Amino acid sequence: MPNRRHVLVAGAAAAAVVAFDPVGLGWVTQAQADTGATGLAVPDLDGELVTDEAALAEAAEDYGQIAHRRPRAVLRPASVEDVRRVVRFADRHRIAVAVRGQGHSTFGQAQAPAGVVIDSRTLSRVHGITPRGAVVDAGVTWFDLFSAATAAGLTPPVATDYLGLSVGGTLSVGGIGGASSRHGLQVDNVLELLVVTGDGRLLTCSPTQNRDLFDAVLGGLGQYGIIVRATLRLIPAKTTARVYRLTYADLPSLTAAQRIALADGRFDYLEGQAVSTPTGWSYLLEGAVYHSGAAPDDAKLARGLPTPAATEVTSLPYLDWINRIYALVEQLKALRFANPWLNLFLPDKATDAYIADLLSRTTPADTGGGPILFYPVPRKRLTRPLVSVPDSPTVFVLSILRTVAPPDETVVRKLLTDNRAAYERARAIGGTQYPIGSIPTTRADWPRHYGAEYGRARKAKAQYDPRGILAPEQGIFS
């Protein structure tokens, strides 16, 4: 009698893809091949290419729960070479390919309809942590990297608010957080990348080697190559976060406080948000100072800021602070509500009027209780050419993290329309979108999005993904 393991292994082998049928545009599994189906043999893999229902359904889903486009196969690579083999095969036969890191896009950005999704969770080794930098596979989560680095007394300079995102996923968009006021985005803190290009070359790139590829891939929305490994800057970690929450009754007081704090750099972390109250909105500045040993002088940190209506000061271990919303997000994710997020960058001068207008149009029903975040970052720290931000010395990040609960298709459609309208109003004042959210776009939007950098994007596409197989759902080039 075969035991359970034998049955499972035999089942997995039968479901494994062995060939591609170029006529029916489908994949042939071992079980189908055993009954006579034929096709073009796929290369031998260290990992597996699968077509089972569970894998396809998962790859057709993301945090947004709005777009659901099924691939025809999912690659679970066991090596960098697997990524290269499948990309070469896909390039030869013009099959769409997208990488899915942790699937935290909100509008199908990591989906590949009728193509292959590469699940990078199987490439998740931390190869090394030294003061010179961290070397990690693209599928490593920021939580794993922060845990490994802080154990060695080091830290990446910038954390996203939630750490369950993959390194490859945030390096493909930007990676912004409260420490961006000091260190720029996560993409501004990369030393070197190993990339499989859309035509299947494996290239190392950095500021001094294959610079054009480095410039294209960071914030490149998965269009030019697949990041398989990254070397990231680390800095010494402090042990403790002293956290300041200052509540203001009005928007101008909050943004004035944020601008003062940004200018003198008093906080290591600087964010802010509008909070819905029974009588309207209140405004919260969130600042943190990282320290080892003696706590900072609280009175000095509040000096010169508009007087808040309320102040709360707490201390917590650095990693607990960096990882503070992980459990909450995991709970929300399990509920699978739709999340039609709006994420924008605004020029400083127009920010207050834009946010005041947006809040006057926004009810708690439009956010589903999700937060409205906004905070300033200095433009000079944002160095990556394809992360498109306004031409302004200070740029405000604005995110409405909408949730639709209970699920309601009509509400989702209305909020997508609202997002588009808000995007157009932002563009009219020199704003851009941070393309992690759910803004319906057409191909015509992208030349305007990239502005003077559009030529760089097109050139890189022609050079590194000439047949346009990578991340087609972004709709940038096709």
Cβ proximity to ligand FAD: between 39 and 225 the closer is 225
Q: Is 404 in the site for ligand FAD (CB under 6 A)?
A: no
Residue 57 CB, nearest approach to ligand FAD (Å): 15
Q: Is 63 in the site for ligand FAD (CB under 6 A)?
A: yes
Residue 193 CB, nearest approach to ligand FAD (Å): 9
Extract the runs of DSSP E, i.e. beta strands, from 33-78: 40-41, 48-50, 73-76
Q: Is 165 in the site for ligand FAD (CB under 6 A)?
A: yes
Contacting residue, 32, 51, 65, 102, with ligand FAD by CB under 6 A = 102
Helix (H) or strand (E) holding 51: none
CA-closest candidate to residue 276, choices 189, 146, 367: 367
- Around Cβ 203, how many Cβ atoms within 10 Å? 16
Cβ proximity to ligand FAD: between 175 and 347 the closer is 175
Residue 36 CB, nearest approach to ligand FAD (Å): 36
Residue 385 CB, nearest approach to ligand FAD (Å): 17
Q: Is 98 in the site for ligand FAD (CB under 6 A)?
A: yes
Q: Is 173 in the site for ligand FAD (CB under 6 A)?
A: yes
Cβ proximity to ligand FAD: between 116 and 261 the closer is 116
Q: Which two tokens stand for residue 227?
A: 């990041």
Tell me which stretch binds ligand FAD (CB under 6 A): 159-167, 246-254, 287-295, 379-387: 159-167
Q: Is 222 in the site for ligand FAD (CB under 6 A)?
A: yes
Contacting residue, 169, 308, 370, 472, with ligand FAD by CB under 6 A = 169
Q: Is 272 in the site for ligand FAD (CB under 6 A)?
A: no
| Polymer length of the chain | 478
Classify burial at 299, counting beta carbons within 10 Å of its beta carbon; exposed 0-12, middle 13-18, buried 19 or more: exposed
- Around Cβ 251, how many Cβ atoms within 10 Å? 20
- The CA–CA distances, whole Å, from 119 to 48, 49, 83, 387 equal 10, 10, 10, 24
CA-closest candidate to residue 39, choices 48, 49, 51, 26: 26
Q: Is 67 in the site for ligand FAD (CB under 6 A)?
A: no
Tell me which stretch binds ligand FAD (CB under 6 A): 14-22, 125-133, 170-178, 375-383: 170-178
Instruction: Write the CB contacts of 72 (distance below 8 Å, at least 6 apart in sequence).
Output: 25, 26, 27, 51, 56, 114, 115, 116
Cα 117 from Cα 42, distance rounded (Å): 15
Cβ proximity to ligand FAD: between 208 and 331 the closer is 331
Q: Whole-angstrom distance between the N-terminal and C-terminal Cα of the chain?
A: 53
Contacting residue, 32, 65, 155, 170, with ligand FAD by CB under 6 A = 170
Binding to ligand FAD by CB under 6 A, coded x per residue (else -) over 361-400, reads ----------------------------------------
Cα 106 from Cα 94, distance rounded (Å): 26
Q: What would the DSSP string read from start to end of 216-284? A: HHTT-TTSSEEEEEEEE--EEPPSEEEEEEEEESSHHHHHHHHHHHHHHT--SEEEEEEEEETTEEEEE
Contacting residue, 119, 161, 286, 465, with ligand FAD by CB under 6 A = 161
Number of residues lying near ligand FAD (CB under 6 A): 36
- Are 377 and 417 in contact, with CB atoms under 8 Å apart? no
Contacting residue, 29, 32, 51, 109, with ligand FAD by CB under 6 A = 109
β-pair type (342-347, 394-400): antiparallel
Q: Which two tokens stand for residue 129?
A: 């942590």
Residue 51 CB, nearest approach to ligand FAD (Å): 20
Cα 145 from Cα 195, distance rounded (Å): 19
Contacting residue, 50, 90, 99, 344, with ligand FAD by CB under 6 A = 99
- Around Cβ 278, how many Cβ atoms within 10 Å? 5
Tell me which stretch binds ligand FAD (CB under 6 A): 42-50, 174-182, 440-448, 454-462: 174-182
Tell me which stretch binds ligand FAD (CB under 6 A): 38-46, 173-181, 205-213, 288-296: 173-181
Residues lying near ligand FAD in the complex (CB under 6 A): 62-63, 98-105, 109-110, 120, 138, 160-162, 165-166, 168-170, 172-177, 221-222, 226-227, 329, 436, 471, 474
